[in-house]
């Protein structure tokens, strides 16, 4: 509980600066590298060559700039973060400053979980269906088995969920995701595949997606282990099928590429490319002078790291329950179980 309290107090302190700086990032995402041991069809990042990666000292410098900018949550991704030999040192430094999470394909998780679990507040393992579909989408046989073994090794040490991307190749098998989550006693967080220009185009068929969104809304309301809020699925459905757009607030999330450049305006618009190095900018000044207006009604993607924060409202009881109260209860349950 002391860790949880520290996160809450830290967030309150950093949010005070929003009084004079109304547009500041709360969440940060950082790709540690583009290199990956899998070859996922829908991913453009493993196809990129890494430049010189940040040293631990530079990673710390980046984190300190994020603290100055008001960030409370830092999520690491790739490529595959566990390919970094210094991953435990990086996560340790992050955990001192932020609520820290990581996304992994799970291949190396069983081997590395003991060295990183103390520095993670949440872990996401990518699963795209049962074995045949998952391995096909991930491009390497054995991917599913390694991921599931990683989940079994890690779930007793750190709060964990599946991260699942809905594509044209697995949309007919979405119920399988819930079966896998239930079998492993974890939750699943869904994303809708976005067709990057340098990856395979396997975004889900529109009419099938509408039916799947209705299915997931019903399952969520019935207590299925789904992390996404009902509002997340309803907003996608309203925008993409009924012409009622949600207001995206991309300034709530800041992304940093493997070389330390800040990605603006968001993950999708320029396909994760940045110009300015984070240690060369004043985040508060840039964020409150940047013209965010053209992107409020974008609605091109449905990445939960943008859509969920954009939807959150303190005056909405269901959102507060799902995102704050339920998350707190889950954290307490896990902490208690781990203690005993």
What is the pLDDT, as a whole number, of residue 300? Answer: 94
- What's the number of domains the chain is made of? 1
Q: Average pLDDT, stretch 229-237?
A: 96
Distance CA 276, CA 269 (A): 16
What is the pLDDT, as a whole number, of residue 312? Answer: 80
What is the pLDDT, as a whole number, of residue 15? Answer: 60
Q: Check if the beta carbon of residue 117 is closer than 8 Å to that of residue 110.
A: no
Torsional sign, CA 88, 90, 95, 96: positive
Distance CA 317, CA 104 (A): 32
In the predicted model, is pLDDT for residue 326 greater than 70? no
What is the pLDDT, as a whole number, of residue 2? Answer: 39
Separation in Å, CA 95 to CA 116, 118, 122: 10, 9, 11
Distance CA 142, CA 214 (A): 32
In the predicted model, is pLDDT for residue 101 greater than 70? yes
What is the pLDDT, as a whole number, of residue 4? Answer: 45
What DSSP designation does 322 have? Answer: I
- How confident is the prediction for the chain on average, in pLDDT? 90
Distance CA 221, CA 210 (A): 17
Instruction: Give the tokens for residue 267.
Output: 């993950």
Q: Check if the beta carbon of residue 62 is closer than 8 Å to that of residue 30.
A: yes
**Contacts for 18-22: CB closer than 8 Å, 24+ residues apart:** 18/70, 21/70, 21/284, 21/287, 21/288, 22/288
What is the pLDDT, as a whole number, of residue 22? Answer: 79
Instruction: Give the tokens for residue 234.
Output: 């309803």
Cα first-last separation, the chain? 14
Q: Which CATH number is 137's domain given?
A: 3.20.20.70
Q: What is the pLDDT of residues 121-142, one digit of tens each?
A: 999 999 999 999 999 999 999 9
| Res. 1 pLDDT band, cuts 50 70 90 | very low
State the helix-helix crossing angle for 87-97 and 109-116, rounded to 10 degrees.
Answer: 40
Q: What is the pLDDT of residues 247-305, one digit of tens each?
A: 999 999 999 999 999 999 999 999 999 999 999 999 999 999 999 999 999 999 999 99
- The more confidently predicted of residues 332 and 220 is 220
Give percent of the chain above pLDDT 70: 86
In the predicted model, is pLDDT for residue 72 greater than 80? yes
In the predicted model, is pLDDT for residue 152 greater than 80? yes
| Res. 113 pLDDT band, cuts 50 70 90 | very high
Q: Check if the beta carbon of residue 65 is closer than 8 Å to that of residue 89.
A: no
What is the pLDDT, as a whole number, of residue 284? Answer: 94
In the predicted model, is pLDDT for residue 332 greater than 60? no
Torsional sign, CA 221, 224, 229, 231: negative
Q: Average pLDDT, stretch 150-170?
A: 97
In the predicted model, is pLDDT for residue 315 greater than 60? no
What is the pLDDT, as a whole number, of residue 302? Answer: 94
Separation in Å, CA 299 to CA 102, 277, 292: 25, 27, 14
Q: Average pLDDT, stretch 22-45?
A: 96
Runs of H (alpha helix) within the chain: 2-15, 56-68, 87-97, 109-116, 131-138, 143-154, 174-183, 206-221, 230-242, 283-289, 304-311, 317-320, 326-339
CA 239 vs. chain centroid, Å, equals 22
Read off the pTM. 0.89
Q: How many CB atoms lie within 10 A of CB 65?
A: 22
Instruction: Give the tokens for residue 111.
Output: 């081997």
What is the pLDDT, as a whole number, of residue 16? Answer: 57
Q: Which range marks the domain in which residue 311 is found?
A: 2-339
Instruction: Give the tokens for residue 153.
Output: 């090794």
In the predicted model, is pLDDT for residue 3 greater than 60? no
| Res. 323 pLDDT band, cuts 50 70 90 | low
């Amino acid at each position: 509980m002391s860790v949880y309290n520290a996160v809450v107090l830290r967030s309150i302190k950093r949010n005070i600066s929003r009084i004079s700086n109304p547009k500041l990032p709360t969440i940060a995402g950082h790709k540690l590298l583009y290199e990956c041991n899998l070859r996922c069809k829908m991913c453009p990042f493993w196809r990129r060559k890494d430049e010189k990666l940040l040293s631990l000292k530079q990673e710390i410098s980046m984190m300190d700039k994020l603290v100055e900018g008001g960030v409370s949550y830092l999520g690491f991704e790739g490529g595959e973060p566990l390919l970094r030999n210094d991953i435990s040192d990086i996560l340790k430094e992050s955990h001192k400053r932020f609520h820290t999470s990581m996304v992994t394909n799970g291949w190396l998780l069983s081997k590395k979980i003991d060295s990183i679990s103390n520095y993670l507040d949440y872990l996401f393992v990518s699963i795209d269906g049962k074995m045949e579909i998952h391995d096909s989408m991930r491009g390497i046989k054995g991917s599913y088995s390694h991921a599931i073994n990683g989940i079994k090794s890690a779930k007793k040490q750190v709060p964990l969920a599946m991260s699942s991307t809905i594509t044209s190749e697995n949309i007919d098998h979405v119920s399988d995701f819930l079966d896998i989550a239930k079998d492993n006693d974890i939750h699943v967080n869904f994303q809708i595949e976005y067709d990057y220009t340098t990856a395979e185009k396997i975004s889900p068929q529109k009419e099938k997606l509408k039916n799947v969104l209705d299915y997931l809304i019903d399952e969520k309301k019935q207590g299925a282990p789904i992390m996404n809020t009902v509002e997340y699925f309803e907003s996608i459905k309203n925008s993409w099928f009924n012409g009622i757009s949600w207001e995206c607030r991309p300034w709530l999330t800041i992304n940093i590429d493997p070389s330390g450049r800040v990605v603006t305006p968001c993950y999708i618009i320029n396909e994760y490319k940045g110009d300015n190095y984070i240690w060369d900018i004043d985040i508060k000044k840039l964020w409150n002078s940047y013209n965010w207006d053209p992107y409020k009604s974008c609605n091109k993607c449905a990445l939960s790291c943008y859509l969920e924060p954009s939807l959150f409202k303190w005056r909405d009881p269901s959102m507060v329950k799902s995102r704050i109260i339920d998350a707190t209860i889950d954290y307490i349950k896990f902490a208690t179980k781990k203690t005993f």
